[in-house]
């Protein structure tokens, strides 16, 4: 359409606005199936869970439709059976503590192994980088349960590690590694390591090596250059990776279930317990929402960090 | 030897070491390469051991008693495994198909356009399943589906398909959107200029160009659905084991190399799909 044709229309602004409205309506309609499926089978149930967290537990699982805040109170506190006084729910607190500390330890371990790995890949010749990246990505996309089983094979009482240590006469009897916090931390580090490597790699790849060169020209040692120049520049990638590892650790279910056994529960297993043997669905719902809230806070922080970076790039 | 040549020799001698010294590599950090190589080793060693013992002739997972395909045969003859495998594949195929169609439509609607009202909201909604811990979605679905199951009495596969489709959509959407964003719309504009009706533009121009993105999205969704344990474990009705939930159940009993054999098959299938995915999505660059 030419300018003169546009000018001859009585109200070009109104027409355009109408077309824009119609366009955006069509775009909503086209997105509708995807949105509907996600709303019905992913987002919507979360709202139902909010309601369930304010009900009373049923006798054989499920709920009774009586309003109660016990579900939420029981997240942190428990009522004494005899005199009804409230006290800290020690069992829950120790599980929260295990979740938090193991997630933090896992994050630190993935940093120790992930940052050098990301650096190594990013400093390869461009043609070779894709190959190494691919090597990191393949385990990430292979089945989580299979990877957890692989770790189980490694650390079982008759597993490879124990057999090697026994054969070398370093130990006299097998180490009990399965069903410990160590097993969970080890497994999660293995399983979530790629999540650390990829964002750190992206940061190192963008790194302006002239700045590093300048640091060395000014007689910085390797360590000083790393600490004062490189680290601050790749910090966003490191933070992003840390959050990407921390979040799934906090909500981990499969790895602690397989490697931690019935005693070393994490947040995810505590939730499952309420829907299984615990028969306390409202508490389970409240725990789930608590976990979600914690994850959301971490995610918002993540989005703010990454969007700040994008703005810097522009 | 003349004095002159002696001097050159001395000078050369002095210059040589400096020449030989490698340029100061600013990209090198001491200790990083060994840690990185160790990490690559550590990523693959446990999986290799798992695969290795799947070929063990003995019952034990620890002692090597010679090569055999015994456990693969046993898995292939195990009715439960076959049943679960068929269910897993069907579930993944149906969920990935539905998710691909829905995700393609959504991607067409939300890319290559100026900001329209609510676009950010559509993004947020579509990516929502990625944000919430799987266990939370799983118990939320358990609650809702338990209610529907009681109300309707229906306990078929639809619940699993619906749940899998929902969490597959973002995995389909991302590669399709990425592909669309690198496609410019000149060919489509040309088609429209030549009076092609909208549907023809879509089927003859847009979709053929978008195809690699859709295939990549489909494969990603397929792998994600095939791998899922948590949501499946909570949503499935009695007798609806998939391969991952079957294996999770087996881990509670005496573990034989049969689990290794099944794991190896999953591992190989997953690796093939991911390799294909890489290969296809590389094609866009």
- Judging contacts by C-beta atoms under 8 Å, the chain A residues touching residue B269 are none
Residue of B42, B139, B180, B274 to mutate, interface with A, max A Cβ within 10 Å: B139
| More reliable by pLDDT, A94 or A141 | A94
pLDDT of residue B111: 84
CB contact at 8 A, A266 and A95: yes
Q: Would you state the pLDDT for residue A173?
A: 87
- Asked if residue B131 and residue B27 are part of one domain, the reply reads no
Under 8 Å between Cβ of B231 and A272: no
> Is B101 in Cβ contact with A33 (below 8 Å)?
yes
CB proximity B126 to A under 8 Å = yes
Residues B98, B49 share a domain: no
Q: What is the pLDDT of residues A71-106, one digit of tens each?
A: 898 888 887 777 777 888 888 999 999 999 999 999
CATH number of the domain to which B166 belongs: 1.10.3720.10
Residue B190 has pLDDT above 50, yes or no: yes
Question: Residue ranges of the alpha helices (H) in chain B?
Answer: 3-20, 32-54, 70-77, 79-110, 119-131, 134-152, 158-182, 186-193, 198-201, 207-227, 230-235, 243-250, 257-282
Q: How many CB pairs under 8 A join A and B?
A: 261
Quick one: which of A106, A92, A144 has its CA closest to A257? A144
Give the per-residue pLDDT at A23: 81
Q: How far apart are CA B194 and CA A268, in angstroms?
A: 58
In a domain, B36, yes or no: yes
Q: Are residues B43 and B133 in the same domain?
A: no
Alpha helix stretches (DSSP H) within A53-89:
70-76
User: By CA distance, what is A158's nearest residue in B?
Assistant: B62
Same domain, yes or no, for B38 and B175?
Answer: no
Separation CA A134–CA A117 (nearest Å): 13
* B87 vs B174: CA distance, rounded Å: 26
Identity of the residue in B28, B162, B270 whose CB atom sits nearest the CB atom of A142: B270
CB contact (8 A) between residue A33 and residue B248: no
Do B32 and A156 count as a contact with CB atoms less than 8 A apart? no
Q: What's the domain range around B31?
A: 3-54
Task: List A residues 290-309 in contact with B (Cβ-Cβ < 8 A).
Answer: 291-292, 295-296, 299
Q: Within a domain: residue B61?
A: no
A184-239: per-residue pLDDT in tens? 999 999 999 999 999 999 999 988 889 999 999 899 888 899 999 999 999 989 99
Closest alpha carbon to B162 in B149, B151, B174: B149
**Into how many domains does chain B fold?**
2
Using pLDDT thresholds of 50, 70 and 90, give the confidence band for residue B13: low
Query: Are B109 and B33 part of one and the same domain?
Result: no
Return the bridge partners of A59, or none: A61
B232 interfaces chain A, CB cutoff of 8 Å = no
Chain A: give the shortest CA distance to residue B111, in Å.
10
Cβ contact B173:B107 at 8 Å = yes
Per-residue confidence band for B22, with pLDDT thresholds at 50, 70 and 90: low
Tell me what pLDDT residue A11 has: 61
Do B156 and B34 share a structural domain? no
Domain range summary for chain A, segments of one domain joined by +? 1-52, 89-313
Report the DSSP pairing between strands A56-57 and A77-79: unpaired
Answer for the pair A139, A192: CB distance below 8 angstroms, yes or no. Answer: no
| Res. B4: pLDDT tops 60 | no
CB-CB under 8 Å, A213 with B33:
no
Mean pLDDT of A43-53: 94
Q: What is the pLDDT of residues A276-299, one digit of tens each?
A: 888 899 999 999 999 999 999 988
Q: How far apart are CA A146 and CA A150, in angstroms?
A: 6
pLDDT of B66 strictly over 60: yes
CATH superfamily of domain region A89-313: MetI-like (1.10.3720.10)
Cβ contact A244:B130 at 8 Å: no
A61 φ/ψ angles, rounded to the nearest 5 degrees: 85, -175
Kindly state whether residues B49 and B132 are assigned to the same domain.
Answer: no
Residue numbers in B near A117 (CB within 8 A):
35-36, 39-40
Inter-CA distances, A159 with A162, A176, A208, B92, B214, Å = 6, 10, 46, 33, 42
> What is the helix (H) or strand (E) element at residue A17, kind and residue range?
helix A12-38
Interchain pair A34, B102: CB under 8 A: yes
Pick from B248, B260, B275: CB nearest A145: B248
Distance, CA of A264 to CA of A280 (rounded, Å) = 20
Percent of chain B at pLDDT > 70 equals: 90
**Residue A272: its chain B contacts at CB < 8 A?**
135, 139
| Residue A15: predicted pLDDT | 80
Q: Please indicate if any CB of chain A lies within 8 Å of the CB of B118.
A: yes
> How many Å apart are CA B241 and CA B238, to the nearest integer?
8
* ipTM entry: 0.87
B106 plus B31 within the same structural domain: no
Check CB contact of B158 with chain A, cutoff 8 Å: no
Report the candidate in B135, B247, B168, B167 with the shortest Cα–Cα distance to residue A252.
B135
On chain A, the residues whose CB falls within 8 A of the CB of B137 are 42, 45-46
Residue B159 lies in a domain: yes
User: Closest approach of chain B CAs to the CA of A120, in angstroms?
Assistant: 6
Residue B269 lies in a domain: yes
How far, CA to CA in Å, does A211 sit from each of A123, A204, A232, A236, B30?
A: 15, 13, 12, 17, 18
Long-range contact set of residues A212-219: C-beta below 8 Å, sequence gap at least 24: A212/B26, A212/B27, A213/B26, A216/B24, A216/B26
Question: Are B12 and B119 contained in the same domain?
Answer: no
CB A147 within 8 A of CB B51: no
Give the Cα separation of A157 and A163 in Å (integer): 8
Cβ neighbour number for residue B12 with a 10 Å cutoff: 10
């Amino acid at each position: 359409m030419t300018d003169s044709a546009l000018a001859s229309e009585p109200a070009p602004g109104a027409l355009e606005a109408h077309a824009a409205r119609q366009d955006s309506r069509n775009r909503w309609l086209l997105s509708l199936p995807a949105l509907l499926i996600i709303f019905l089978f992913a987002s919507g149930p979360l709202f139902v869970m909010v309601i369930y967290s304010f009900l009373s537990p049923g006798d054989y699982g499920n709920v009774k439709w009586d309003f109660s805040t016990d579900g939420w109170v029981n997240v942190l506190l428990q009522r004494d059976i005899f005199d009804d006084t409230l006290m800290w729910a020690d069992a829950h607190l120790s599980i929260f503590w295990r979740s938090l500390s193991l997630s933090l330890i896992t994050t630190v371990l993935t940093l120790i192994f992930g940052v050098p790995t990301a650096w190594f890949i990013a400093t390869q010749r461009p043609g070779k980088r894709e190959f190494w990246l691919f090597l990191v990505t393949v385990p990430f996309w292979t089945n989580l349960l299979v990877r957890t089983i692989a770790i189980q094979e490694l650390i079982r009482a008759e597993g490879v590690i124990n057999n090697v240590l026994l054969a070398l006469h370093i130990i006299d009897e097998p180490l009990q590694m399965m069903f410990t916090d160590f097993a969970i931390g080890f497994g999660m580090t293995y399983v979530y390591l790629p999540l650390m490597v990829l964002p750190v790699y992206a940061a190192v790849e963008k790194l302006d090596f002239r700045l590093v060169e300048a640091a060395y020209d000014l007689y910085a040692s390797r360590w000083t250059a790393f600490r004062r120049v490189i680290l601050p520049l790749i910090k966003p990638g490191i933070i992003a990776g840390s959050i990407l590892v921390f979040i799934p650790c906090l909500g981990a279910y499969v790895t602690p279930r397989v490697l931690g056994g019935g005693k070393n529960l994490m947040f995810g297993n505590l939730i499952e317990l309420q829907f299984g043997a615990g028969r306390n669905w409202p508490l389970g719902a409240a725990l789930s929402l608590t976990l979600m809230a914690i994850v959301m806070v971490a995610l918002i922080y993540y989005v703010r960090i990454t969007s700040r970076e994008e703005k810097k790039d522009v | 030897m003349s004095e002159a040549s002696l001097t050159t020799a001395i000078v050369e001698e002095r210059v040589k070491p400096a020449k030989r010294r490698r340029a100061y590599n600013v990209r090198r950090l001491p200790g990083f390469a060994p840690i990185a190589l160790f990490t690559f080793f550590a990523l693959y060693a446990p999986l290799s051991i798992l695969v290795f013992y799947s070929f063990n002739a003995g019952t034990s997972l620890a002692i090597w008693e010679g090569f055999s395909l015994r456990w693969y045969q046993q898995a292939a003859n195990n009715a439960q495994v076959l049943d679960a495998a068929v269910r897993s594949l069907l579930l993944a195929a149906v969920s990935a198909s539905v998710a691909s169609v829905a995700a393609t439509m959504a991607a067409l609607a939300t890319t290559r356009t100026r900001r329209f009202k609510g676009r950010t909201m559509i993004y947020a909604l579509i990516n929502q399943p990625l944000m919430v811990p799987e266990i939370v979605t799983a118990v939320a679905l358990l609650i809702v589906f338990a209610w529907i199951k009681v109300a309707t009495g229906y306990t078929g596969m639809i619940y699993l398909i619906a749940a899998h489709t929902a969490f597959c959509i973002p995995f389909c959407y991302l590669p399709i959107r990425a592909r669309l964003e690198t496609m410019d719309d000149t060919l489509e504009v040309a088609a429209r200029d030549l009076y092609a009706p909208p549907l023809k533009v879509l089927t003859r121009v847009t979709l053929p160009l978008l195809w690699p993105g859709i295939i990549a999205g489909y494969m990603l969704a397929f792998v994600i659905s095939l791998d899922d344990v948590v949501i499946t474990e909570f949503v499935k009705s009695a007798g609806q084991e998939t391969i991952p939930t079957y294996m999770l159940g087996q881990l509670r009993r005496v573990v034989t190399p049969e689990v290794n054999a099944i794991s190896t098959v999953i591992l190989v299938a997953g690796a093939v799909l991911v390799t294909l995915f890489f290969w296809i999505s590389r094609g866009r660059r």
